Each structure stands twice: as structure tokens, then as C-alpha cells.
């Protein structure tokens, strides 16, 4: 049927579902492992699969050429491995990366030579090193206090997996402390990663460019309603599992750390209860569920974690949606937008402060001076799944 077939390769006719096909069988003598079978409607397609054919386009490398190039190992991949490789190549093509480049980067950053320590484990080791080196009790006390605060939220994350954006978001979330205290957090985070590089726990220091001085103008970035809708559409299309969490942040003002610890048992029809053990200020508070948030939560319930993601998993998913939707997302913009629109809606710094778990002074310093329109103040609370696609769909967040 086909002349000059290599040893271990056979071609024959078979009927499947009443249709006649040409079956190509790659035996163990050819593959060096598992038998592989492929069916073709035309004999020319079968021949092209085996030998290649300059007269006919083919979407795959001929198996004879593949064996000559890669040996038997080319045929030892499982169907799942082949599918995974195909998906990886598709993603790498868009990023203009070779497979070997991506693998080398992953090994370097995710499997550092010093071991895959969590941030909590790294802080404990550094404190022991400092104690052994004779650091003063005052210095150790201050370092322990700050490391403890950082580890409360980020302790379970792998040190090697952190990105600058994750740390910026976390620092922005610390809106219940003074600028000088926030700057101290940044300095100690920088120390942590510098030690991590020296000891082989991570390949880079994502805290290098973090703001480490005590100057702050207090300005925040707030999204318009149309920018928020564009972001929600990107989430709905590319990372739908995040929709509920994003809605809770935007329309209830939770910190990311509070959101990731939120359990469904804390969400009722009327309010979201933030437990003192999960709140930055260590005070329980009940946040009323606005009608727009109720619409996003409709028919959403369950047990356990509302989001079900780690800190890095959450930020990575947000970043993927932003890249896919061509959106630039300022640090903590969802919470800042909530605080701004809630303050201008209630005209009460006390009520807004309670719901956000802050002091009235912080609300006035951060949100009173934000330049927002009356239209957006009213419109923010009308963003629901039904209104998501109304009006201007073309304006993505670019602030």
C-alpha cells in the first residue's frame, strides 16, 4: 500500500462507524516504547504523516524525520504530556520565549539552590542568624515585631515566588499605620529578600524598588465607573473565579488579606462580618451589603473560603486578567475606590472608617480630597451583572 515503510511502521485499511480509514501503526520496534496509532481519510495524508510530502501541506513533522532528529524519546510522551507541551508552546509563542528559556527561568526562581522556603520560615532563620551574630535586644525586638506583621499575611507564600506588585499591594493595604511605619515595613522587607539572595533562598529582590522613605502625599488613585466596568468584564472573561472576590473588595472595601481569610459563614444576606482575628486593627466589624454587591452575591454561597486562593495566587490571577484586558491596575485601587465613593455617598468619615476598619483621620486624609464626579459617586453603587455591559465599553483603566 505504501512502499519503503520503516521497520515497525504499518499501514492498513479499517472501518470506523461505517467510514473507511487508513490506519498508521507505529510499533514498538519504531517507537522504542508504546505502540501509537493514527487514522487518516486519505492515503496521501497517511504517507505525508510518515514521510512528509513537498506537494502537500502538513501540520506536523513527519514521524520518520522526528525519529531521526529526536530518537525514540520523541514517541515516549503520554497524550497528556503532548497536550501540555502544545499548550505551553502556544503560550510561549505569544511571549516570544523558547521552551528552554522558560524552564531555565522557572528552575532558577521557583526552585532556588537554598531551598523553597516560605516567608515565615525565612524570617525565623534570619532572626536566629541575627541573634547568633550578637544583634542588640532592641534591634531584635523591632525586627521580630515587623516580621510578625508581614508574616501574618504573607507568611505562607514561597519567598522565591514574590513579585514587586504583590509587595506594593500589601504595603498599600497597610492603611491603618503611619507613613513612617509603612516605610519601616518596606525597609525590613528589603532586608529579608537581600538576605534571601545571599543565602540562595530566592533569585531576585522584588523589594528593591519599594518606597523606603517616610514621605507620603496621601494621594490615592480611584477608578471611574466605566474603568471599573472594563475591569469586571476582563475578570468575567479571563478569570471568572475571581468575580465574587473582586466585587467584595470593590463594594465592601475589604483588604486583600481580609478577603482571602473570609469564610462563607461570615457572609449573610445583610452584612459581611470581619472577625477580629482576621482584621488589621484586631476589631470585629460588620460591613453592610449594598444592593449592588447583593446582586453579585446572588446565588453564591457555600462553606469554607470565599476565594480559596493564596496571596500570590490571587495577585497572579488579577495580573493575568489585566494583561489579557490591557488594563493597568494601580495598587489597592478597589479599596481606595470603595473608600472614596462610600465617604462621598455617606458624607460620614465615622461610618466609612468603621466599615473599612480605619480611623476617621485616615478616611479624611486619603479620600476627602479625591477628585470624583457626582455621576460616578452615584453610578458606582449601580454596577451590577445586569448593568455591566451598558454604555461605554471601550474605555479601559489606564491610570
Is there a domain that residue 92 lies in?
Answer: no
Tell me: do 72 and 30 sit in the same domain: yes
pTM: 0.61
Q: Residue 131 pLDDT more than 50? A: yes
pLDDT tens by residue, 232-270:
999 999 999 999 999 999 999 999 989 999 999 999 999
Tell me: do 37 and 167 sit in the same domain: no
Tell me: do 22 and 67 sit in the same domain: yes
Q: Residue 108 pLDDT more than 70? A: no
Tell me: do 377 and 235 sit in the same domain: yes
- CATH code, 124: 1.10.150
Domain with 157 in it: 119-198
Tell me: do 278 and 241 sit in the same domain: yes
Is there a domain that residue 213 lies in?
Answer: no
Tell me: do 235 and 319 sit in the same domain: yes
Q: Residue 308 pLDDT more than 70? A: yes
pLDDT at 90: 77
pLDDT at 79: 64
Is there a domain that residue 140 lies in?
Answer: yes
pLDDT tens by residue, 179-213:
888 889 999 999 999 999 999 898 889 888 775 54
**3-class SS letters over the chain:** CCCCCCCCEEEEEEEECCEEEEEEEECHHHHCCCCEEEEECCHHHHHHHHHCCCCCCCCCCCHHHHHHHHHHHHHCCCHHHHHHHHHHHHHHHHHCCCHHHHHHHHHHHHCCCCCCCEHHHHHHHHHHHHHHCCCCHHHHHHHHHHHHHHHHHHCCCEHHHCCHHHHHHHHHHCCCCCHHHHHHHHHHHHHHHHHHHHCCCCCCCCCCCCCCCCCCCCCCCCCCHHHHHHHHHHHHHHCHHHHHHHHHHHHHCCCHHHHHCCEHHHECCCEEEECCCCCCCCCCEEEECCHHHHHHHCCCCCCCECCCCCHHHHHHHHHHHHHHHCCCCCCCHHHHHHHHHHHHHHCCHHHHHHHHCCCHHHHHHHHCCCCCCHHHHHHHHHCCCCCCCCCCCCCCCCC
Is there a domain that residue 26 lies in?
Answer: yes
pLDDT at 191: 92
Query: How many independent structural domains does the chain possess?
Result: 3
Tell me: do 191 and 254 sit in the same domain: no
What's the mean pLDDT in 263-292? Answer: 86
Is there a domain that residue 218 lies in?
Answer: no
Is there a domain that residue 219 lies in?
Answer: no
Amino acid at each position: 500500500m505504501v512502499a519503503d515503510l520503516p521497520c515497525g511502521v504499518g499501514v492498513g485499511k479499517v472501518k470506523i462507524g461505517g467510514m473507511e480509514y487508513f490506519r498508521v501503526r507505529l510499533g514498538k520496534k519504531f517507537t522504542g516504547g508504546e505502540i501509537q496509532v493514527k487514522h487518516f481519510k486519505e492515503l496521501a495524508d497517511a504517507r505525508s504523516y510518515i514521510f512528509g510530502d513537498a506537494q502537500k501541506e502538513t501540520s506536523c513533522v513527519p514521524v520518520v524525520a522526528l525519529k531521526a532528529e529526536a530518537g525514540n524519546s520523541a514517541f515516549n510522551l503520554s497524550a497528556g504530556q503532548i497536550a501540555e507541551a502544545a499548550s505551553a508552546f502556544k503560550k510561549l509563542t505569544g511571549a516570544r520565549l523558547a521552551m528552554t528559556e522558560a524552564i531555565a527561568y522557572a528552575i532558577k526562581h521557583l526552585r532556588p539552590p537554598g531551598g523553597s522556603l516560605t516567608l515565615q520560615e525565612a524570617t525565623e532563620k534570619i532572626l536566629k542568624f541575627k541573634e547568633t551574630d550578637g544583634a542588640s535586644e532592641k534591634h531584635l525586638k523591632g525586627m521580630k515585631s515587623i516580621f510578625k506583621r508581614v508574616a501574618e499575611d504573607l507568611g505562607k507564600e514561597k519567598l522565591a515566588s514574590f513579585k514587586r506588585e504583590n509587595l506594593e499591594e500589601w504595603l498599600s493595604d497597610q492603611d491603618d499605620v503611619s507613613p513612617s511605619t509603612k516605610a519601616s515595613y518596606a525597609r525590613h522587607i528589603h532586608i529579608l529578600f537581600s538576605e534571601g539572595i545571599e543565602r540562595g533562598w530566592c533569585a531576585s529582590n522584588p523589594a528593591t524598588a519599594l518606597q523606603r522613605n517616610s514621605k507620603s502625599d496621601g494621594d490615592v488613585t480611584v477608578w471611574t465607573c466605566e474603568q471599573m466596568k472594563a475591569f469586571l468584564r476582563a475578570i468575567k472573561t479571563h478569570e471568572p473565579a475571581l468575580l465574587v472576590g473582586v466585587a467584595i473588595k470593590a463594594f465592601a472595601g475589604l483588604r486583600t488579606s481580609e478577603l482571602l481569610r473570609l469564610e462563607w459563614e461570615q457572609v449573610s444576606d445583610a452584612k459581611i462580618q470581619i472577625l477580629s482575628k482576621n482584621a488589621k486593627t484586631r476589631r470585629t466589624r460588620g460591613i453592610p451589603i449594598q444592593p449592588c454587591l447583593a446582586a453579585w452575591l446572588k446565588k453564591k454561597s457555600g462553606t469554607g473560603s470565599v476565594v480559596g486562593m493564596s496571596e500570590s495566587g490571587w495577585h497572579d490571577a488579577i495580573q493575568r486578567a489585566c494583561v489579557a484586558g490591557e488594563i493597568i491596575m494601580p495598587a489597592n485601587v478597589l479599596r481606595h475606590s470603595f473608600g472614596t465613593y462610600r465617604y462621598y455617598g455617606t458624607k460620614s468619615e465615622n461610618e466609612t472608617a468603621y466599615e473599612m476598619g480605619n480611623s476617621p483621620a485616615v478616611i479624611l486624609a486619603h479620600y476627602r480630597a479625591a477628585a470624583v464626579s457626582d455621576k460616578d459617586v452615584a453610578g458606582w453603587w449601580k454596577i451590577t451583572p445586569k448593568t455591566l455591559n451598558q454604555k461605554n465599553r471601550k474605555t479601559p483603566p489606564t491610570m
